[in-house]
Amino acid sequence: MISYASYSDTGGRPCNEDTVEIRPMDGERLCTVLADGLGGHGGGKNASQAAGDLILQGWDGGANPEHLRALADQAHQAVLAMQTPACQMKTTVVVLALDRDRAAWAYAGDSRLYHFENGRLIWQTRDHSASQIAVLLGQITPRQIRFHEDRSRIFRALGQRDGGNADVGEIPLTPGKHAFLLCSDGFWEYVDEEEMEAALAQAGTPEQWLKQMRKLLARRAPSDNDNNSAAAIWVER
């Protein structure tokens, strides 16, 4: 059984360059895309929307990481083709596909995917960012990414020259309760992993889970905060 919810908020910015799209199929399969556009002048929104549309339209209904990688590469080429000298638009992307017994994903940039199993966080993506490299080098802790001076410097994104190659992965969906959270940096910067877990424990639906976490974000985010978006996917087997 699959249930899901999503939202996207402009935050304190003049326009929303995030895109969140969910495509269910026959009650047992689903594909979700979240993209955070970069580039200004409306270009970021165009890039994220184009990437989301292309990936969902090309999804074949399965949970094959190599298929998702190919779709991300097609989206990368599409964003490159949309660029002009005045607008070098780009976008992060994270995509999750579920079929009857597997989950697969692909991502580029610092939009994240979290996987919780039976209420506990067991895995999350690693950002393609300068601050994530600082973590790998032991210079800062994962929690300090949120406050690091280079947290906005990403080195892989769709539309970025030599930067579109998505990382991919897959897992079997074992019996139990699985929860997946896709979110942009405007979301995860204000909600830490322990709080995601605590909110999940209190929620009865994906909508309630997102609502609890958005309350935390609203209390902490400054008036000029970034666009923020998330999608919550629950699977019970």
Q: What would the pLDDT profile of 169-225 be if each residue is shown by its tens digit?
A: 999 999 999 999 999 999 999 999 999 999 999 999 999 999 999 999 999 999 999
Within the chain, what is the greatest distance between any pair of CA atoms?
Answer: 51
For residues 199 and 137, the model is more confident at: 199
Compute how many other C-beta atoms are within 10 angstroms of the C-beta atom of residue 210: 21
Among 52-61, 68-77, 146-155, 165-174, where is mean pLDDT lowest? 146-155
Which of helix, strand or coil describes residue 84?
strand
Cα–Cα distance for residue pair 133/136, rounded to 1 Å: 5
Contact between 120 and 197 (Cβ < 8 Å): yes
Q: What would the pLDDT profile of 87-115 be if each residue is shown by its tens digit?
A: 999 999 999 999 989 999 999 999 999 99
Residue 188: which CATH number?
3.60.40.10
Which of helix, strand or coil describes residue 21?
strand
Number of domains in the chain: 1
The number of residues making up the chain comes to 237
State the pLDDT at residue 153: 79
CA angle at 13 for the pair 20 and 51, rounded to the nearest 5°: 30
Nearest to 229 by CA among 13, 17, 15: 17
Task: List alpha helices for the chain, DSSP H.
Answer: 43-58, 65-82, 130-136, 185-188, 193-202, 206-220
pLDDT at 42 exceeding the cut of 80: no
Q: At what angle do helices 193-202 and 206-220 cross, to 10 degrees?
A: 140
HSE-CB of 214 using CA atoms within 13 angstroms: 19
HSE-CB of 115 using CA atoms within 13 angstroms: 23
Give me the domain span that covers residue 92: 2-236
CA angle at 232 for the pair 128 and 28, rounded to the nearest 5°: 110
Q: Are β-strands 177-183 and 102-108 bridged in parallel, bridged antiparallel, or unpaired?
A: unpaired
Nearest to 117 by CA among 103, 97, 134, 136: 103
